Every structure is written in C-alpha cells, then in structure tokens.
Amino acid sequence: MASRVVFPQPDPRRKTVADLSKLAVSCVEKQSPDVLHAHFAPVGCHHLQMAQRLNIPLVTSFYGFDYERLPFEKPAYREHYRQLFEGAAAITCAGPHGREVLIGQACPAEKIKVLPMSFRPDEFQFLERKKVAGQLRLVQVATLTEKKGYLDTLAALSIARTSCPNLHLTIAGEQQDQKLVHEMRNYIKSKGLESLVTWLDFLPHDQLDDFLAPFDVFIHPSCYAAHRDCEGGPVAILEAQASGLPVISTTHFDIPTEVLHDKTGLLAPERSPEHLARHIERFYHMGSVEYQEFSHNARLHVETNFDVRIRAVQLRKIYDELLTC
C-alpha cells in the first residue's frame, strides 16, 4: 500500500513546539497524509487533536528526556501523556526498558512498538586496530551534560591510572552544561589529571569516522540526571562499534541491547567509577587476540541489529498495520 506520512518535529529556528503548529498544519493540508508521526512525546501531545480531527493515526516516538524528565519537571504533562497514550495509534521506544517505563506510566502495552535506534553502519570504516597490552587510548564523544556520565569517566580514570600508567582520555563535545564543565575542570586539576586528558570542543558529525581512528576504546557511562533525564539508546555508542571500537558503558536504560557485555564491550552499574575503572584496567592489559574479538563482534552486532534499512522495513510494517486496521 502506498501511504503518505508526515513527521511533525522541532525546527531549530523555532523556540517551542507551539511555534511549529502553523507549519505542521500547512504541511498536513498540502500533503493529505495517511499517518502522522511525531518525534518526541511533547510533539505528539501537541498534535494529537489535529490527528483526531483529521481522523488519521498518530504515531509518537520517545527518545530520552521525554520518558521521565518532562513529566518530572512539568507535572501537567502527566495528564498530557495520559491523553496521548489513549489517543495515539502507536507509541515507539528504543528498547525493552523503555517499554517497561511507558507501561509504568499507564501506556497500553499493545500500543508500544520497540523500534531500536539506527544508523548507517556502512558510513563508518571498520579499522583493524593494533592493540598491545600495557596501553589504552580512551575517547568519549558526547554533549557535556550530566546524563553522559563525564564525572564518572574522570573518576574512573583517576582510579585506574595507579595500575595503568600508559593511559590517556580524549573528550570531545559541545559544552552545554557550564556548571558541569566547571566541575570537570576542577576535578581534573584537583586529581592531577591534566597530562592524561585531552579536552576538545564540539566535533562535527561528518568528522566522527576519521576522529575515532586513533583510539582503542569508546567510553560512555550514561546515567540518570538529577532531573530524571536519561538516554533511551545513544547512537554514538553504535557508531563507535561500527568503526570497531569496543565500548565501556553502563546498564543504563536500553544500553544493554546496544552493547553486549563481555562480547562487544563491558558494562558497569550506573554511577560506579570503581566498576568502570576495572573495565578500563581489563582493556588496558588486554592483548591483540582478545581485543580483536571484541572489535569484530562490535561491528557485526551493529550491522546485524541497528542498520537503518532494517529499521525502515519495521517502521513501514507499523504504518501498514495501522492503515489496515
């Protein structure tokens, strides 16, 4: 069945979801879609009435802050979510943990479709890195916000350096949270980590593939922020594995589906620098044979399970099912 789908989503030139409304209505009037697909819960909440008025199914995708932070900081959204869960035709999330969170918020289980994050693995060159025991070059690429776990990365580095002298960390990311930036700089100075850390600014995405080439392990210890912000499934973790980098991360949210513990990387509990440090130490002392196994597993895992072309087929099936109900 040929169908037309409209995707109302935030425009960076507009400040709020409400500012998008006129544009969305204009698109819908011109294109007469069969399905309305909203990315992020507040966009879905805002366009639910329009979908109902036009009598077309609404699909809404949850990604991160919209799982728990939004209703935590703005309790009025609890009622908005109730209406969304009742009125939307389908709700998508990145994995089984996200599904349970939504069920816990009273979303009907039969409406939830697990649709993992995806990307193009073939846009990343797999590199046969030469890893020797007794050295480790770590990298973390992410916006500087609390949920990315940067302070845990630095604390783990401080712990691990006592037994891993040839250790280095490179950080690259937009400095969004200035309070966190200040805390990180103070921590690096207080622990004498200056010589162990290279700190870069924002990295354009089209440079990521080449940028990852010199490193041995990608570290990304995601965690819940104080205001309940979280990560559904970080795409950066998938992209790193596509290049052949094993990942050190946490059991946060749906990361265990993205990183297979002891196969494509190593996972620690959230906010546990001690566990992270042990994982750093393991990769530090790891030789080439075991490292290559992690590296090849990482690439195969994302090729098999997170290719956007596979996900597109699944999404199309969801649309078709809604239109044949």
> For the chain, how far is it from start to end, CA to CA, in angstroms?
13
Distance CA 47, CA 20 (A): 10
- Give the torsion through C-alpha atoms of 310, 315, 319, 321, to 10 deg: 70
Residue 86: partners with Cβ closer than 8 Å, 6 or more residues away: none
Distance CA 200, CA 103 (A): 40
Strand 58-61 relative to strand 35-39, pairing: parallel
* Closest by Cα among 11, 2, 9, 62 to 32: 2
Q: What are phi and psi of 62, to 5 degrees?
A: -95, 145
* Confidence (pLDDT) at 23: 72
* Confidence (pLDDT) at 20: 62
Distance CA 323, CA 76 (A): 32
* Confidence (pLDDT) at 289: 97
Distance CA 13, CA 56 (A): 28
Q: What are phi and psi of 267, to 5 degrees?
A: -115, 140
Burial class of 296 by CB neighbour count within 10 A (0 to 12, 13 to 18, 19+): middle
Residues of the chain under the 70 pLDDT cut: 1-22
Answer whether 58's CB lies under 8 Å from 38's CB: yes
* Confidence (pLDDT) at 19: 63
* Confidence (pLDDT) at 29: 72
* pLDDT tens readout for residues 50-90: 999 999 999 999 999 999 999 999 999 999 999 999 999 99
* pLDDT tens readout for residues 181-219: 999 999 999 999 999 999 999 999 999 999 999 999 999
- Exposure string over 36-62, b if 16+ CB within 10 A, otherwise e: bbbbbbbbbbbbbebbeeeebbbbbbb
* Confidence (pLDDT) at 280: 99
* Confidence (pLDDT) at 13: 45
Q: Mind listing the domains of the chain with CATH numbers?
A: 5-118+307-323 (3.40.50.2000), 121-305 (3.40.50.2000)
